[in-house]
Amino acid sequence: MAETLEGRVLKALSGFWYVHTPEGMLECRARGKLRFRGLTPLVGDLAKVESLGNGKGSLIDLLPRKNAFVRPAAANLDALVILASAVPPVTDPYLLDRMIAIAELKNCEPILCFHKSDLGRAEELIRTYRSCGFPVAETSAETGEGIPELRRMLAGKLCAFTGNSGVGKSSLLNALSAGLDLETGEISRKLGRGRHTTRHVELFPLGDGIWAADTPGFAAFDAEDVTLELKRRLPELFREFRPYLSECRFPDCAHVRDAGCAVTAAVEAGEIPRSRHESYARLHEELRKVADWSLRD
Ligand SMILES: Nc1nc2c(ncn2[C@@H]2O[C@H](COP(=O)(O)OP(=O)(O)OP(=O)(O)O)[C@@H](O)[C@H]2O)c(=O)[nH]1
Ligand SMILES: [Mg+2]
Ligand SMILES: [Zn+2]
């Protein structure tokens, strides 16, 4: 009888899953039963594996997940570190707000990280996200600014680093851990955007109980994480809206430009950042156009 072990999926590559177990790393294929249940193992999954010797194994089952993301493809995330930069490639706040809403939907703490602070500061965005109650870091892989603070925010957590290509995810992970040597890319000067240097998702131990996944950056946003639940729960996923949601005149208020809306009144009063409400309205409109039947539950 082969020995059954429990471990964490750290990497998925070319049909193999690399599982960290008490007996070391096992290179696994998935057993047929998993495919039968329609489950694809994700980085971050806790898995039952059978050791076959010589560092090989068979992935036989997955333990229940806390959450699962399509982009980045990862499971059981305690925190999503969302990188943004005020220098090219400059991050569109709408992408941040969209990412944040998806993280909130999945009970995953969004941590905003304004990176490349040596080149430029995102003062206004930092104020905006602090005022909404998000943990915010300001970091530089060049000067080391903010690295100890970010490390403290991440202690004991399983997290993934996400953000547009070229924003500096791999560089920041290297700065967080002396032992890491992830490949990073020069930004194409002509295009002013990154080139997707990182090609797969992989979890690394950073010490202090931190497990962090490097992920390939996105260029635009794909719709795979857009679900019916996101559509239904959108207003409460903007956490700074919550105190106002029960104050609107009409119970079916869409909080866009409706009469008697407490949310839009709070925007006018300067209590909710205008850019956050603009992102909400844009996302609301995008979701409104998508028919319910076409969205996954
Ligand atoms: N000045 C400065 N440059 C940085 C910093 N962090 C990263 N860079 C540079 O930005 C470029 C892109 O960095 P990467 O770490 O490869 O970016 P990435 O987000 O991993 O990109 P993808 O893997 O394509 O998604 C590289 O040329 C880095 O040297 C920083 O804090 N300051
Ligand atoms: Mg990278
Ligand atoms: Zn309203």
Domain ranges of the chain: 4-62, 68-214, 226-294
Helix (H, G, I), strand (E, B) or coil at 160: strand
Residue 209: per-residue pLDDT: 96
How high is the pLDDT of residue 187? 57
Q: Which ligand is nearest to the CA of 266?
A: 3
Tokens found for residue 101: 């809403």
Output the pLDDT for position 186: 72
Rounded CA-CA distance 163/83 in Å is: 5
- Give the per-residue pLDDT at 197: 81
Prediction pTM value? 0.93
128 lines ligand 1 (CB under 6 A): no
The residues facing 47 across adjacent strands are 7, 62
Calculate how far, in angstroms, residue 88's C-alpha sits from the geometric centre of ligand 2: 16
Task: Give the span between the Cα atoms of 267 and 273, in whole angstroms.
Answer: 6
Greatest Cα pair distance, the chain, in angstroms, is 69
3-class secondary structure, 176: helix
* Nearest by Cα to 158 from 111, 209, 110, 198: 209
pLDDT at 194: 53
- Region 226-294: CATH code: 1.10.40.50
Q: For residue 224, what pLDDT is reported?
A: 62
Q: Whose CA is nearest to atom 21 of ligand 1?
A: 166
Residue ID of nearest Cα to ligand 1 atom 9: 168
Does residue 167 have its Cβ closer than 6 Å to ligand 1? yes
Rounded distance, CA 78 to CA 109, Å?
A: 6
Taking the chain (297 residues) in runs of 10, the rounded mean pLDDT of each run is 88 93 94 79 96 93 94 95 91 93 96 97 95 98 98 98 93 94 72 68 95 84 72 96 97 94 98 98 90 72
Residue 51 tokens, joined = 């050791």
Same topology between domain 4-62 and domain 226-294: no
Instruction: Please tell me the residue having the least CA distance from ligand 1 atom 14.
Output: 168
For the domain bounded by 68-214, which CATH number is listed? 3.40.50.300
CATH homologous superfamily of 4-62: Nucleic acid-binding proteins (2.40.50.140)
Closest atom of ligand 1 to CA, residue 141: 31
Helix (H) or strand (E) holding 35: helix 32-36
Q: How far apart are CA 54 and CA 76, in angstroms?
A: 28
Ligand 1 pocket test: pick from 169, 174, 184, 204 the residue with the most ligand atoms within 8 Å of its Cβ: 184
